[in-house]
A and B are shown apart, each in its own frame.
Chain A
């Protein structure tokens, strides 16, 4: 029998061209932020250990923490921490069978994205002006 439908069949999503839904993007971002937080924790623990090692060690670590490198790492970590925390709270809702409908998951994704940015800006304002 001739294949009359050639070239017109539905295809399974191909990773290179498939546009991930927002809930999928925020889901993989949870894993990425969780693992990336290792940079911030390493910087802070190095800084704490340097503080009990000696004045020279502390001067070096404190310089990095207060430099633009430290600013980028710690601000990035603050955002990653807020994002991961909000996404983790969403997982607690998922586990209890809530927010699982597509529109709800979509709305929760926006709440996580906007919430994490707002909380990071709030943290920076609190740090620099309070």
Chain B
């Protein structure tokens, strides 16, 4: 017999050993993305077709820049957690570790590239 309460036995356990943190993150980020999806699609829809200088000026404005940055950062971290569930379902052992590392590195590279581009367009617009 174990002399601990049921609550203590459940603390920090679960198959993930991190409780429901990933599930809760996906819940919170999905709520944010429900709002960001239509906003992002409007921003991109208005941007496609603009000539180069107008496009740079467009993404230098606060609303398009913030919506795009938020969508890509929140979306790609949501993507990391989502691929993690898929990887846990279909891959084992070393393949699983490699797949998780590739997913995380790739997603943060996409975030870095997008943030760099948006930051540069914002600074160029300020300089003008």
Asked if A38 is at the interface (CB within 8 A of a chain B CB), the reply is yes
Residue A81 at the chain B interface, CB threshold 8 Å: yes
Q: Please tell me if B1 contacts chain A, counting CB pairs below 8 Å.
A: no
Taking the closest CB of chain A, its distance from the CB of B82, in whole angstroms, is 5
Binary contact track A99-130/B, C-beta < 8 Å → 1, others 0: 00000000000000000000000010011000
Which residue from B45, B52, B110 sits with its C-beta under 8 Å from A126?
B45
Decide: A48 and B59 in contact? CB cutoff 8 A. yes
Q: Are A49 and B41 in contact (CB under 8 A)?
A: no
Indicate which residue in A42, A52, A81, A82 contacts B124 across the interface (CB closer than 8 Å): A52
Docked-complex contact A35 and B83, CB < 8 angstroms = yes
Question: Which A residues are in CB contact (< 8 Å) with B45?
Answer: 123, 126-127
Point out which of B68, B75, B117 has the most chain A C-beta atoms below 10 A from its C-beta. B117
**Contacts between chains A and B (CB distance < 8 A), count:** 74
Partner of A66, one of B37, B48, B124: B48
Complex contacts, A41 vs chain B, CB 8 Å? 72, 75-76, 110
A52, B120: Cβ atoms closer than 8 Å: yes
4 new A-B contacts, CB < 8 A, other than A52-B124, A89-B30, A127-B48, are A48-B113, A52-B121, A66-B49, A88-B34
Main SS of chain A's interface residues?
helix
Q: Does A31 contact B (CB under 8 A)?
A: yes
A-contacting residues of B (Cβ < 8 Å)?
A: 27, 30-31, 33-34, 37, 41, 44-45, 48-49, 52, 55-56, 59, 68, 72, 75-76, 79, 82-83, 86, 110, 113-114, 116-118, 120-121, 124
Q: In the complex, what residue of chain B is closest to A41 when comparing beta carbons?
A: B110
> Of A42, A59, A92, A126, which is within 8 A of B31 by CB?
A92
* Partner pick for B27 among A34, A82, A92, A123, CB 8 A cutoff: A92
29 A–B pairs (Cβ distance < 8 Å), ordered by A = A31-B86, A35-B82, A35-B86, A37-B79, A41-B72, A41-B75, A48-B113, A48-B117, A51-B56, A51-B59, A51-B121, A52-B116, A52-B117, A52-B120, A52-B121, A52-B124, A58-B52, A59-B52, A78-B41, A81-B41, A82-B37, A85-B37, A88-B33, A88-B34, A89-B30, A92-B27, A123-B41, A123-B45, A127-B45
